Every structure is written in structure tokens, then in C-alpha cells.
Structure 1
Amino acid sequence: MLSSINIDYFILLMALLLIIGVLTTKFSTRLGVPALVLFLLVGMTMGSDGLGFIPFNNPYLAQLIGIIALVVILFEGGLQTKWSAVKAVAKPSLSLATIGVLLTTIVVAVAAKFIFGVSWLEGFLFGAIVGSTDAAAIFAVLKGQNIKNNLSATLEAESGTNDPMAVFLTLSFIQLLTISESSYIMLIGSFFWQMGAGLALGYGLGLLASYAINKINLDSSGLYPIFALAFALLTYSLNDLIGASGLLAVYVAALVIGNRDLTYKHSIFRFNEGFAWMMQILMFVILGLLVFPAQLLSFDIIVKGFLLALILIFVARPIAVFLSTPRMGFNTREKIFLSWAGLKGAVPIVLATFPMTMGVENSQLFFNVVFFVVLTSALIQGSTISYFAEKLGLNGPEKVEPPHTLELVSIGKANAEIIEFAVNENMKVTGQALKDLELPNDVLISAVIRNGDLVTPHGETVIKPGDILYILVAKQTIKALKRLMNEKKEEQSL
């Protein structure tokens, strides 16, 4: 049993790690380095082979924390993703998430076979582990960047849906390495089951979660975000229990939940955004603790790992992108950018713990090399994504968050909500005075944010493009209000 001194010491270290992690995100922006790299370095520095503050060598615990963190991160990413954006790029995203991962695995497998002198199955295991684009890295690096919508949506959807392919390939090659009677036909059937059941159950549980959130009447608004997160964990666990893809199901469920009208939607989004950051900090620090710098920075690992990383970045990923996205609406410059933006992050490192926990020979070599490849990818690719987008002329409109702090609320007992509505020039309400709007009786425009300033609305206030309206509305009128406010100018003449 831990003594009170040890418990106090542990709590102090946790507080310091979280503070350092939050401050690290500030420095990462200034240094142009992805935050995940600095989180990993913090873990390596604090670990057994660094300053020794946190002795840690438990791949089972690291794997558990990593999976829970990935569930939270994928759930938050799915909540923030617009279905309209995903629908437009569904075909290339799914192609990259399946065929692209398979092609990357094959190229890396050949390289690993000759660079490290391992068997073909071990080479394919190398390729499977680093084959997927990482959701945690993509969501973190692309957030706030003004990259063309179709490209950012493709990368986000790919990273959210390619984990099942990487997990399937990794576990399949581990099984082939450790169990001599493994059946290839059963493995292929398992893949289709994981994908199909994950999609179906994720969609169904997303609908169930949305219905439950809207129908339940909790005493505290702070319980709604926890209730939503509980459904994310439930979705993963139920799918995992029946052998389906839990990570895919979580992302699909989050897409469904995030694109429906929810009670306390703003609170749910903000809570999960902050919690996802905390889990990301914790996950990368823990994974950094699992690394022994003396082994990682050996001459053999540095030279061979860097060579494998270069092949992955400059050969495997471009081949995967160009061969898996033919005639899908991308020009050569866009495909070059998609090739460069294939970031590696937490998923490959978490997958690299599976050989360690399942008794695969050379498992420590797998982990060290994968960790080095992820660091190289994050440093080279992650820090230059914005630069590449700019040089290739692929920047989209500037993404500016409105500089206001008006909190959205749901008034549960009063059966009313305050909702946010952003106005653009194509909407029928643009250019109209508030007194001329045919709003239902139980609707009140409470505030207008214009160019960062609060405008007190009155009858003569004219709605302008770029305005953000905060509207007090009865819950039963929300759908009718949204139909009215979203009516386009073209529809006026119909």
C-alpha cells in the first residue's frame, strides 16, 4: 500500500505534469513544433532513464491509458466534425483509411525486412504498426489552420476511420507470428466484421445517445458532458466485447451526436475539448515514460530508424495516396500535400505496445523503432504542414474564432435554450431588420456579436453577414427556427 508521502508525491507530480503539458502547448506554437513531441520529451525526461522522477516500465498500463485517451480524442474530434464536410470526402477518406494503410504497410514491410534483417512477418508487423495516420496528431496540428476544407476534412476523416485497418493488421500479424494454426480466411472475415459491425453499432449508439441526452432531465448541467462521454466509453467497450472495431464505432457515434440538436450542446463540446487535451497530455507523457533514451538514441536505432522514417514519409505515404485516390477530385498539388500530412502519433506507439504485452520476439526493437519514427514524422511533417500548404497554394479562408465569451446555456427547467447562429451573405435574413423577421412568438434575439463587439438588438437592428446571433427559444421551436434562419436567398423566389 502506498504511504501518504508517496501519494502526496504522486499528486504533486501529476499537477506538475499537467501544468507543464498546458504550458508546453503555448511554447509549441511559438517553436513551430507539434505539442505531442514536447509531451513525449517531457515523459522521456521525467522517466526512469531520464531524471528518474517517475520510474515506469509497464506496457500494460501504458496501453490501457493510451486506448482510453484515444477513445476520448476520437470522440471529441467526431463531435467537432461537420457531417456535410465528411460526406463530401467520404470516398477518398475511406480509400486512404483502407487501401492506403495496406499499401503503406507493404512498402514499409519491404524496407524493414532489409534494413533490420527481420523476417517477412516481422517486417509486415512493422508496416502495420506505422501504417495509419494518427487522429490525435491530425486533430491537434490542423486545429485553427486555414487549410482548404476538402483537404483538412479528408485528413480528419481518414485519421478517424483508419485505426481499424491498422489494429486489424497489427493483431493479425502478431497472431501469425505467435500461433502457427492461424487461418488467413478467418482473419479476412474478421476484418469485414470489425468494419461492418463498428459502423452499424457506432451509428445506432450515436442515435441512442442523442435521444437519451435530449430526453433525460438532469438536475445539474455539468452532468450532461459526463453522460455523453459515458456513451463514448460504452460504445468502445460494447464493440470490443463482440470483436468489432471500438475506435471506429466511437468516431461514427461522435459524428452522429455532434451533428444533431442537443441539450447543453455547447457545454458538452467544451468539456470534451478540455478533457481530450488532458488525455492527450497524459497519454503522450505516459508513452514517453515507457521509453528508455539510452536505447532509443543508440547509433543503430538512430541510423536505421531515420532511414525507415524517410522511406515512410517520402516513398510509402506518397505511393499510398496516389494509388488509393485516383479520379477522386484531387490535383497533383493536393495529393502531394495529403502525402506530406500523413502524420504519425499516438496510435503507432500504442500499437507498438501490443507485441510487448503479447510476448512477440524483438518487441522492444519494435517499440524503440516505432517511437523514433513517430518523433521523426512529428518533427519533420508536423512542424511544416502550414508551410507546405502555403507554398502549394492550398490555404483556405482564414479561420477566426469570434473574440467573445458569451456562454451558451440550456434552461432545462424552463424548457428553453439560448442557441448560437452564424449569419452569412447567402441567407435570406441577411440585410433584414429584426422587426421584419417573421419569428415565432416564443423566440427572442438576445444579443448580436459583430466584429467582436456586442450589439444590443432592437427592432431597427439590421442583420449583416458575419454576425453571430444568440437566440432565446423554446425547445419545441428550435427546428422550425433553424429552418427559417437557414433559408437561402435563392429560395425566396420559389
Structure 2
Amino acid sequence: MELIGALLFLLSVMLIIGVLTTKFSSRLGLPALILFLLGGMILNQFIYFDNVQMTQFIGTLALIIILFDGGTQTKWGRIRPILGPASSLATVGVLITSFATGIAAMYILDFSLLEGLLLGAIVGSTDAAAVFSVLGNKNFNKRLTSTLEAESGSNDPMAVFLTVILIEMIQIPETSIWIAFGGFFLQMGLGLILGMALGKITVFVINKINLDISGLYPVLAMGAAVFTYAVTDSLGGSGLLAVYVMAVFVGNSDLTHRFSILRFNEGFAWMMQIVMFTLLGLLVFPKQLTDVLWEGILIAIILMFIARPIAVFISMVFMKFDLKQKLFISWAGLKGAVPIVLATYPIIAGLENSNLIFNTVFFVVLISALIQGSTLSWLAEKLRLTGAEEDGNASIELINLGNTDSEIMKISIPKNSPAVGITLIDLKLPDDTLIIGINRNKKLMTPTGTSILAKGDTVFVLSDKENRKAAKLALLGSNEETEMYT
């Protein structure tokens, strides 16, 4: 019992400190993951932890939850125009980054070619957890933000594939690279197809099932995300890609209990980030990092200033992005949990230089997140890539009222809404539908019949489930945003 009590005390301290550090990280301009990693490294001095398998399992579970949270909050209307550049960055970009970094690592660390390429593959992808946390609350250009979020959410399959195939080639030199690349396209295809299919099934189940306890709907949605990964992975597809695709579909559907599901996802994703990064920090011994100090710094510099920019400019050569935008995307190639989790693969596989690879990757991630993450806002301002305040994107959230057929919808009024300039008494809302609150300029107003709606208002609408579509049409019109939620 003493051990259980000590572990529970440790977990509680990790969560409390983790939540508090998010406040300090935003003030210091640092990604929160840096503080979590450092916290784990400090705890490492008092607690001995070297369970790589457990860390890999928890890391994979955390990535599923983080991707699900990021995907559900991604607006399809934003990412659809940038699917081309995001897909190119997620495939060709990762391949070029991995190759360039791997060649450098081969000479710097005196590795064989395959070992160098393995390290390059491990750090080749941008990290969804890092990107979502850094970009989420910043006023960057929305097109760039959408491109980076879509890239980070979909580029893990390429990094995982390269890591696994290179480990196999090191262990079994006869492995055919061409057959392996055929397997990659199979993984991507299955990930896309199963992600879409399971996303559609998830939306149908959540909207049709009537649970007695409304708090179970977020648990159902999270279970569906883990199920999507497990099924896709067992069938030979990319589980992480399937989860992201499924989450985007779920997040952009007309979903009951949407509000509670998204809020639960957000809190759970943060909790998993805290636990995951702290555990990853526990695996690292600071004294071992000094053994790869200059090598890690040199590889990180090559990755940030040479490999990533080359990959971005080549993979986006035919894309409609100007020089400033490409420079920003180059600098936003943040590294985080995915490279460190992938760095556990060589350890489990028993490769000769696995510990050296792990420590070097950890050092590279630390430098990348510390330098790039803390300077993104500054660079965006210098390049004049900060975006304007949003006023035209409809946002709908549903708050279910227990076991009733009624829900509260939270709807942001776009500038082209037919309700703009109309008094509430003149709105053609369905019967038994009421506007119970108006949020304007961060102030909550009590609505009356003479209240006039303005663009940018957020209204809270009490409506029966069967009247949701008609109420949204009255407030949003028959625009693309309305169709996306119907």
C-alpha cells in the first residue's frame, strides 16, 4: 500500500505541476512540453524508471488522444484548400528531411548509412502535440495554421514507416525497400478509408444512441478513437492517420453532445501530454545527454536550418505560398513526442547504438521545441503573417440537457448571415425554439424581442433535436458552414 500511495502522490504532483506550468509557459513564450520534459528529468534524479515498453504504450495512447482532440477541432472548410501542400509536406517533406538529417547524422555520430537514416527518420516528422499546443492560441495567419496542423496530424505514418523499415533493414539486410514502399501506400490507403468509415459510424452511433448518463458520450467518442487505431493497425493500416481522419470527420459533423465531447477531449489530451512528456523525461539521464552535447546541437542546427527548409521548398515548389510563408512553415517544423516515442523502437529492437540514438533524438527535440517553439510568434510578427480576428466562421456546439430531447446550441453569427440586422422577434425560428443568450464583445446580453443580431455575435439557442437544422438555417443561411454541420 505504501508503494501505491507513493505512486498516486507522484501522479497527483505531476498533474498539478503540469497544469500550473502551462500558465508559466505561455508567459515565457515556451511550449509547455519543454517544462514537462524538464520536470521528468528532475524527477529522474529521485526515481529510477527505465520501462521503455510501458513508455511506448502510454506514448502511443497519448498520441491517439492528442490527434483525436486536434482533429475534432480542425475545421474542414479551412483544411480542404490546403490538402495538397499539407499532403506533400507530410510525405515528400518528411522523406527529404529524414534523408538530409540522416546523412548528416552518419558523419557526425560515425554511424553506418542505415543507422544515420534511422535517426533522420525518427526526427523527420513534425509533432502534432507540439504544433497544436503552440499554434492553438496564437493569432497566426489561418491558412498557414491550417497547413501546419494538417501536416502534423498526417505526417506521422511516413515517419513510423521509415523507422520500422530501417530497423528491419538493419536487422535483416535482405529486406526489399521497394516492397516496403508498396506497404506504405497500403497503410496510407487503409488509414484514409477506415478513418472515414469509422468516423461516419461513430457520428451515427453518438447521434442515435440514448444513454441515461450524458457524461458517457465523451467516453464513447474516446473509445471510438482508440478502437479506430486498434482496428486499422491490426489490418496493416496507419492507425494514427485513421484516428486523425476519423476525428476531422467527427468534429465537422452535426454531433449531439458536441460541447461536452470537445471539452472532455481537450482536458484529457492535456492530461495525457503531461503524463507522456514527464514519462519521456524520466527515461533520460542528464549525464548521458552531455555525452552527445555538441553532436546533438550540430544535428539540431542542420535539421532546423538546412534539412527542414530544403524539404519545405522542394515539396511546396508548385504551391501558391510566397517566400515569407515558406520560411515560416520551415521554422514551424516542431519536434515533440513522436520522435521520442519512435526513438524507443530501436531500444526495444535491441540495436547496437539504440541508447545513443535515443539520447541524441531527445536532445534534438529539446532544442527544436525550445528555440523554434519560443520564437514562432516573433517570426510571424516580423514576417507580418499574423491573422485578423475571425468574424465569418460559423461555430456550433451542442449542450445536451440530460435525458430530454432539447439541447442548447452555441452558434457564431457570420457576416453573411441572413439574421444580421434582424430583431429577434422577426427571426423565422422554428416553434419552441428560443434564443436564451447573446455574447457580444465578450459580454453576455439578455435577449429581448427588440434585440438586433450583429456579425460576430455568439448566440445560445434552446431547441428540440428535430428543429436543429431549421434553427441553424435561420441563423446561418444555406452557406457552406451550415451544410457542413447538417
CA distance in 2, matches of 1:9, 1:16: 11
Residue of 127, 144, 161 corresponding to 2:137: 144
Identity across the alignment (%): 54
Could you tell me which of 298, 303, 309 is aligned with 1:307? 298
CA contact (8 A) 2:94 2:125 kept: yes
Question: Alignment length, in residue pairs?
Answer: 475
Q: What do residues 99-136 of structure 1 show as CA deviations (whole Å, max 9, x unaligned)?
A: 00000011011101111111111111011000000000
Q: Structure 1: state its 5+ residue gaps.
A: 401-406, 490-494
In structure 2, the residue matched to 1:168 is: 161
Q: Which residue of 2 aligns with 1:492?
A: none
* Corresponding residue of 1:454: 444
- State whether structure 2 residue 269 is matched by structure 1 residue 276: yes
Equivalent position SS for 2:324 = helix
| Residue aligned with 2:403, SS | helix
Shift of 1:233: 0.4
Distance 2:116 2:371 in 1: 24
Query: Is the counterpart of residue 38 in structure 1 residue 28 in structure 2?
Result: no
Q: How far 1:441 sits from its partner (Å)?
A: 1.1
Check if 1:357 corresponds to 2:357.
no
Q: Are residue 59 (structure 1) and residue 52 (structure 2) matched? A: yes
1:129-163 deviation line (CA, Å, top 9, x unaligned): 00000000000001110000000000000000000
Question: Shift in Å at residue 412 of structure 1?
Answer: 5.0
2:463 corresponds in structure 1 to 473
Taking the aligned partners of 1:411 and 1:225, their CA distance within structure 2 comes to 15
- What TM-score, normalized by structure 2, do the two folds share? 0.96
CA distance in structure 2 between the aligned counterparts of 1:363 and 1:485, rounded to whole angstroms: 58
CA displacement 1:424-449 (0-9 Å, x = unmatched): 32211100111111111132111111
Alignment of 1:398-477 (within 5 A): 398=389, 409-411=399-401, 413-477=403-467
Q: Deviations over 1:363-401 (max 9, x none)?
A: 00000000000000011100000000000000002479x
Separation of aligned partners in 1, 2:174 and 2:107? 27
Q: What is the DSSP-based 3-state SS (H/G/I as helix, E as strand, rest coil) of the residue aligned with 1:171?
A: helix
Runs of 4+ in 1 over 4 A off after TM superposition: none
Pairwise CA distance, 1:411: 2.7
Q: Verify the 8 A CA contact 1:217 1:412 in the aligned structure 2.
A: no
- Secondary structure, aligned partner of 1:419: strand
Cα displacement (A) at 1:63: 0.5
Q: Check whether the contact 1:427–1:488 (CA below 8 A) recurs between aligned residues.
A: no
Deviation at 1:408, TM superposition (A): 5.6
The question of whether the paired residues in 1 share the 8 Å contact of 2:49 and 2:282 is answered with: yes
Q: Deviations over 1:55-105 (max 9, x none)?
A: 100111110010000000000000000011110110000000000000001
Asked whether the equivalents of residues 145 and 399 of structure 1 are also in contact (C-alpha less than 8 Å), the reply is no
1:23 aligns with 2:20: yes
Q: Does 1:264 pair with 2:261?
A: no
2:414·2:476 contact (CA, 8 Å) conserved in 1? no
Contact 1:146 1:399 in 2 (8 A): no
Deviations 1:200-251 (Å, cap 9, x if unpaired)? 0000000000000011100111100000000000000001111110000000
Question: Could you tell me how far 1:474 is from its partner in structure 2?
Answer: 1.3
Cα 1:393–1:488 change in 2 (3 A) is farther
> Distance in 2 between the 1:334 and 1:450 partners?
33
Q: In structure 2, what is the Cα distance between the partners aligned to 1:414 and 1:223?
A: 15
Distance in 1 of aligned mates of 2:478 and 2:216:
37
Separation in structure 1 between the aligned mates of residue 222 and residue 141 of structure 2, nearest angstrom: 30
Letter aligned with residue 264 of structure 1: H
Give the structure 2 partner of residue 237 of structure 1.
230
Residue equivalent to 2:475: 485
Deviates more, 1:182-191 or 1:6-15: 182-191
Secondary structure, aligned partner of 2:318: coil
8 Å Cα contact 1:426/1:488 also seen in 2: no
In 2, Cα distance between equivalents of 1:428 and 1:191: 48
115 and 381 in structure 1: CA distance in 2 versus 1, 3 angstrom threshold:
same
**Distance in 2, Cα, partners of 1:109 & 1:57:** 27
1:6 maps to 3
Structure 1 segment 86-97 matched on structure 2, within 5 A: 86-97=79-90
TM-score, normalised with respect to structure 1: 0.94
CA–CA distance in 1 between the matches of 2:456 and 2:140? 20
Corresponding residue number in structure 2 for 1:110: 103
Aligned CA-pair RMSD: 1.5
Q: Which residue of 2 aligns with 1:129?
A: 122
- CA apart distance, 1:422: 0.8
Report what 2:189 is aligned to: 196
Provide the rounded CA distance (Å) in 2 between the counterparts of 1:306 and 1:150: 32
Q: 1:316 aligns with which of 281, 304, 307?
A: 307
- 1:442-473 alpha-carbon deviations (Å, 9 max, x no partner): 32111111222222212111111221110011
State the alpha-carbon separation in 1 of the partners of residues 225 and 140 from structure 2: 29
Moved more, 310-319 or 181-190: 181-190
1:368 equivalent in alignment to 2:365:
no
> Residue 256 of structure 2 contacts residue 398 of structure 2 at CA under 8 Å; is this kept in 1?
no
Q: Shift of residue 488 of structure 1? A: 7.1
Unaligned regions of 5+ residues in structure 2, if any?
392-396, 480-486
Hey, what's the Cα distance between the residues in 1 that align with 2:143 and 2:91? 19
CA separation of 1:399 and 1:57: change in aligned 2, threshold 3 A: farther
Q: 2:207 matched to which residue of 1?
A: 214
2:323 maps to which of 321, 324, 332: 332
